[in-house]
Amino acid sequence: MAPWITRTGYLLNSALLVLLSVGIPLAVYHFYDAARNSDDGLRDALAIYAAVIYGIPLWLVLVALGLLAFGLCQSKRWLAVVMSLSLAAPICIVGGRVVGLHHWQKEFDYNRACADEVSDAVRVYAKEKGTYPERLDEIGTPLTRQLSRGRQIHPLEYERIGPDRFLVSYSYGWNRHIYDSRENCWKITD
């Protein structure tokens, strides 16, 4: 084989390694970030966007570079590397999405627990004083007032509706989570 073909193969191998070292972590992070920071309604749309913008083009470039480098080097080891990388890239990207969704759910559960603590503290206050407080400051115990999820911070809101009813609420994107003391349950509204 001509020396320039071998050098070209090595250059393509180097380009592929650079692309892998930058492209796959970037795509994995983008899928993770899109899953963790999305609200319920946009989660799937952001995943499709991330797949079209990062996932599919990255995979096609990896396969094309790998096959071209294999054609120039004709190495069985390089063929194994190309095949494993072309399979590993989508698996890594899907893994980033799965981890992002897991973190989204953990943050959602933690925020719901904080909101439940507020509603429980309001009930304890009402048992002691005979009425619900006008503001959360009247309770006296430190309560979580800011809920974080991903990059966003959402205020936890309390509203006394009357002497026998209150609301605790917070929003994620266009979804508003409301606890009504009269119904004793959480509801999600758009």
pLDDT digits (tens, 9 = 90+) for 103-154: 988 998 999 999 999 999 999 999 999 889 999 989 988 888 898 887 788 8
> Do residue 50 and residue 64 come from a single domain?
yes
User: Mean pLDDT, to the nearest integer, of 59-67?
Assistant: 71
pLDDT band with cut points at 50, 70 and 90 for residue 1: low
Residue 75 has pLDDT above 80, yes or no: no
> Do residue 119 and residue 82 come from a single domain?
no
CA angle in degrees (0–180, nearest 5) for 117-118-122: 115
- Would you say 63 and 86 are in contact if contact means Cβ atoms under 8 Å apart? yes
Please state the domain count of the chain. Answer: 2
User: Mean pLDDT, to the nearest integer, of 90-96?
Assistant: 81
Q: Which of 88, 103, 118 is the last residue of a domain?
A: 103
pLDDT band with cut points at 50, 70 and 90 for residue 88: confident
Q: What is the pTM assigned to this prediction?
A: 0.72
Residue 179 has pLDDT above 70, yes or no: yes
What domain range is 59 assigned to?
Answer: 3-103
> Do residue 96 and residue 150 come from a single domain?
no
> Do residue 17 and residue 77 come from a single domain?
yes
Q: Which of 71, 103, 135 is the last residue of a domain?
A: 103
Residue 58 has pLDDT above 60, yes or no: yes
pLDDT tens across 13-34, in order? 667 767 777 777 877 887 788 7
Task: Report d(CA 16, CA 166) in Å as an integer.
Answer: 60
> Do residue 87 and residue 115 come from a single domain?
no
Whole-number average pLDDT of the chain: 80
Length of the chain: 190
> Do residue 116 and residue 96 come from a single domain?
no
> Do residue 142 and residue 159 come from a single domain?
yes
- Would you say 13 and 81 are in contact if contact means Cβ atoms under 8 Å apart? no
> Do residue 112 and residue 151 come from a single domain?
yes
User: Which range (27-36, 47-56, 87-96, 106-115) has the least confidence?
Assistant: 47-56
User: Mean pLDDT, to the nearest integer, of 94-106?
Assistant: 87
DSSP 60-75: HHHHHHHHHHHHHH--
Q: Which of 72, 103, 134 is the last residue of a domain?
A: 103
> Do residue 95 and residue 7 come from a single domain?
yes
> Do residue 93 and residue 113 come from a single domain?
no
Residue 44 has pLDDT above 70, yes or no: no
> Do residue 53 and residue 29 come from a single domain?
yes
pLDDT of residue 2: 59
Residue 181 has pLDDT above 60, yes or no: yes
Residue 52 DSSP class:
I
pLDDT of residue 114: 93
> Do residue 77 and residue 134 come from a single domain?
no
